[in-house]
Chains A and B, each alone.
Chain A
Amino acid sequence: MTDLLAARSLMAMSLAFHIVFAIAGMGMPVLMAAAEWRWLRHGDELARELAVRWSRGVAILFAIGAVSGTILSFELGLLWPEFMRHAGPVIGMPFSLEGFAFFVEAICIGIYLYGWERTSARAHWWAGIGVAVSGLLSGAFVVCANAWMNAPAGFDLVDGRFVNVRPLEAMFNPMAGQQVLHMTIAAILALSGAVAGIHAWRLMRDPENELHRLALRIALPVAAIAAVLQPLSGDYSAKVVARQQPVKFAAMEAHFETRAEAPLHLGGWPDVDAQVVRGAIEVPGMLSVLAFGDPSAVVVGLADVPRALWPPVAVVHIAFQIMVALGLWMALLYLLAARRLRRGRLERERPWLLALACSGPAGIVAVQAGWIVTEVGRQPWIIYDIMNVADAVTPQRGLWWAFLVAALLYAALSAVVILALRRHIAAVEGSSHA
């Protein structure tokens, strides 16, 4: 394993791990605040109970997320010092704001978790809103910084140096709006889908459990709304990517030949050497429509780009297909399930509960696939069209040792989370029967 590959793998592992907790930090407080609002508004004691129990789960996820986030902030320097040397000041704005958003989230979560008895009900609810808003904002800020790597803006490149930095222009770069929108909805969708899945799974065993029923009634509508919005935001994302990063777009769609009335490939395996997609369903002209809203529009293909600048096409294309397929599946499932729930039938219908439980991880898998599209699709660049990943890496040697140690630590962390959450869920059920 070369040092560059070790650094890449370490970073990928760290991001893939952290994103799960970032999703929880962005989405879970929304559900918590919704449950507590129900209690404040209607005096529903069960809703308060649910908020308390959810918040304990959040505490576990947040504590681990804080750790994995710290790892990332160290790794920016430890693994990619040359990137930070140049990009640090340019994307400093969203990172410093993210620092404060995270700070607010940490403070509010402290008050929320330990302050049930120490502050008024309304003040406590506002602390929960503080957690939700700052959680969503900190996600948005970090995504702005990532978007800058895809669409670098807000500086002039003079002799390899980044000068005349315009921090706001860098933060609100052409990809920022689209990525923030898509990720925010994704986080809420993935999280509420996972929560609905967990409670549906528990309802299969214990259909009369009021707490699980209430949890499903809160989480499922949120998931349904997010799942319907997400394909729309995805369509907008595709149009922005087609303009900003045509190579990534071509890799996502495994589109080799530059042409008008470009076809859309559904499924299939891209044969990179032959420059064809095998076993895919072709929809004529559809790719031009998706990219530019016009079937006669010309879509740039990979063949127009030097091979050295291609991202790994198969990985990007397949990850993209997985994301889209899961997104469409979730939109269908959550919409129908939420309608059934409104008519009060869902809680006893095992096939539906089973479908929800099995689809619990779908949102998280889709988020991981989406980030693979974003990150692998940008290769070989770390800053699109400006800096190569290979030029950004640390000169340190023996990075695979670091990778090994980190892999062990992440394994331990994962075990800890699973143990703690399992114990938490078991404790919840034990006490709700009492």
Chain B
Amino acid sequence: MPELAAGILFGALVIYGLTGGADYGAGIWSLLARLRGERRTAEAAEAAIGPIWEANHVWVIFALVVMFVAFPPAFADLSVKMGGPLSLALVGIVLRGTAYVMQAYGGGGRVAVWRRIFGWASLITPFMFGLVAGALALGQGAEPGAPLAGSFAVVSPFSVLCGVMAMTLFAHLAAVYLTVEVELESVREMYRLYGMLSGAALGVCALVSVVALYHTPGGASFAQNLILSPGALVWQTGAGVAALTTLWWLYHWKFRLARRAVVALALAIFAGWGASQYPWLIPGAWTIRDAAAEPAVLRMLLLAVAAGGAVTAPLLWWLFRLFKGRAAE
């Protein structure tokens, strides 16, 4: 049962990556396009966030709740050890939310400023999430000693690269989604180009991060898990194939197929990350089983998730059908 709960936690993170991640990505493109003076390209990214934004945002809260219910000591340690970067991620979320309200409902002359804040905040939060994931993978969540408020001892070349990779992945996801969603042909072309560029950047990040891993103290054993264990190797290869397939379809103007491939790419990256860490929740400190709450708690959590899912899923389907379905036609 602990594995099942961990699966739910992981699932929530994956969905957050695929949906909320694309919202961060859209924010990044809006920022870059505005900096380059491409108003229409930016507007397309901003329009994509509208109705779905609130719903996507819920996944991260859901993941937090599952974690503290099912794996309370891991949650407590994570909050203490990664307090600094998590707080900054939170600041990013707050700024994004505030800026979103001002852009969507505020009107007036200051919109440009808020748009910029929104864009920068869209960069900060995924970077911090990636940083935390990278630091955890290196086993820094298990290190004793002073908590890391503001000190940011978790910063290492590898964890920074993980942060950059998270940003790049989300930007890539958003660009490929947008090739399907936008209506203007010229804007679509821009996102095709951005999609290919960000895909290439993602590949470079991945390669550099492997090199960085070998030069990080304590990194080698994790590198072995991440790259060389048979299970992980499958996912890495899968990610590579999916990345190339995405670029291939983008190049050939097959955007729907590219969208499928990019989702597969993200899934493979997440799965590879999960597989390399299993059975650790916080590598070196808490395994899934050690951190798990009592069976009675897990049982009720699974029940609640099943019941909640039964209510939520049809509504979510309705939401996406109403808004994303039509845009895609």
Contact = CB atoms under 8 A, between A and B. Distances in A.
A92 B68 contact: yes
B308 A96 contact: yes
Contacts of A84: 68, 72, 75-76, 79
Contact of B61 (A69, A82, A409, A417): A69
Nearest to B295: A165
Given A63-B54, A63-B101, A395-B147, A99 B61 contact: yes
Interface of A: prevailing SS: helix
Given A107-B312, A409-B94, A416-B101, A74 B297 contact: no
A111 B93 CA distance: 23
Interface in B289-328: 293-294, 296-297, 300-301, 304-305, 307-309, 311-312, 315-316, 318-319, 322-323, 326
A176 B323 CA distance: 39
Given A63-B101, A107-B312, A398-B149, A70 B297 contact: no
B120 interface: no
A420 B54 contact: no
Interface magnitude class on chain B: 35 or more
Contact of A96 (B51, B66, B98, B326): B66
Nearest to A394: B80
Nearest to B108: A423
Contacts of A409: 91, 94-95, 98
A70 B55 contact: no
B69 to A, nearest CB: 3
Nearest to B319: A107
A113 B55 contact: no
A168 B68 contact: no
B261 interface: no
B275 to A, nearest CB: 26
Interface string A51-93: 0000010011011101101110110111001101110111011
Interface of B: 50-52, 54-55, 57-58, 60-62, 64-66, 68-70, 72-73, 75-80, 83, 86-87, 90-91, 93-95, 97-98, 100-102, 104-108, 147, 149-150, 293-294, 296-297, 300-301, 304-305, 307-309, 311-312, 315-316, 318-319, 322-323, 326
26 contacts: A74-B64, A74-B87, A78-B83, A84-B68, A84-B72, A84-B76, A88-B68, A88-B72, A88-B293, A89-B293, A92-B293, A92-B301, A93-B69, A96-B65, A96-B69, A97-B304, A99-B61, A99-B308, A102-B58, A103-B55, A110-B54, A114-B322, A167-B300, A394-B83, A397-B147, A409-B91
Interface of A: 56, 59-60, 62-64, 66-67, 69-71, 73-74, 76-78, 81-82, 84-86, 88-90, 92-93, 95-100, 102-104, 106-111, 113-115, 118-119, 130, 163-168, 394-399, 401-402, 405, 409, 412-413, 416-417, 419-420, 423-424
Given A74-B64, A78-B79, 8 more contacts: A60-B101, A67-B93, A86-B72, A99-B61, A102-B58, A110-B55, A395-B147, A409-B94
